[in-house]
Amino acid sequence: MSLTRVFDVAGSALSAESVRLNTVSSNLANAQTVSSTSAGAYRAREPVFASILANQSGGGDSVGVRVLGVVESSAVPTMEYRPDHPLADENGNVFLSNVNVMEQLADLISASRSYQTNVEVMSTSKQLLLRTLELGNR
């Protein structure tokens, strides 16, 4: 029955999108963190999505999603001159995280929309399956 595989597909997408929501919230939470070294500064994390091929998952036409891994952004952390900061280095500089808040917010909207879409797909398929079960039952 193909409709039951829709649950696997939409479920995989929900889990992938929730990883994305998780990384966005970590990035936003750490947007203001500072460090005394450039290497120690927080770097924005981003999940990489890849599709699970049908022959891999063992089901006809369905193509699910999985998170290949989480990569750190390679953008250079901004240096700020704050000699009074307890974490400042010998030159009086601190290193801010390289999180771009605007980018993260846009990502947040995109991820939550995709999540909603997949929830809709799941509930529609559930309705269809339940109606099919009632076939000729009245």
Partner 1 sequence: MTISIDSAMGIHAKALALRARRAELLASNLANADTPGFKAKDMDFRTVLQQHQDMEVRLTTTHPGHAASSTSSGSLQADVLYRIPNQPSMDGNSVDPHLEKAAFAENAVRYQTSLMLLDRKIRGLMTALRGE
Residues that bind partner 1 (CB under 8 A): 1-3, 5-6, 9-10, 12-13, 16-17, 20, 48-51, 60-65, 110-111, 113-114, 117-118, 120-121, 124-125, 127-128, 131-132, 135-136, 138
d(CA 18, CA 118): 11
Min dist. Cβ of residue 115 to partner 1 (A): 10
d(CA 101, CA 32): 10
Identify which of residues 79 and 129 has a Cβ nearer to partner 1 in the complex: 129
Identify which of residues 19 and 99 has a Cβ nearer to partner 1 in the complex: 19
What backbone phi and psi angles, to 5 degrees, belong to 116? -60, -45
Identify which of residues 17 and 98 has a Cβ nearer to partner 1 in the complex: 17
What backbone phi and psi angles, to 5 degrees, belong to 129? -65, -40
Q: Are 64 and 57 spatial neighbours (Cβ–Cβ below 8 Å)?
A: yes
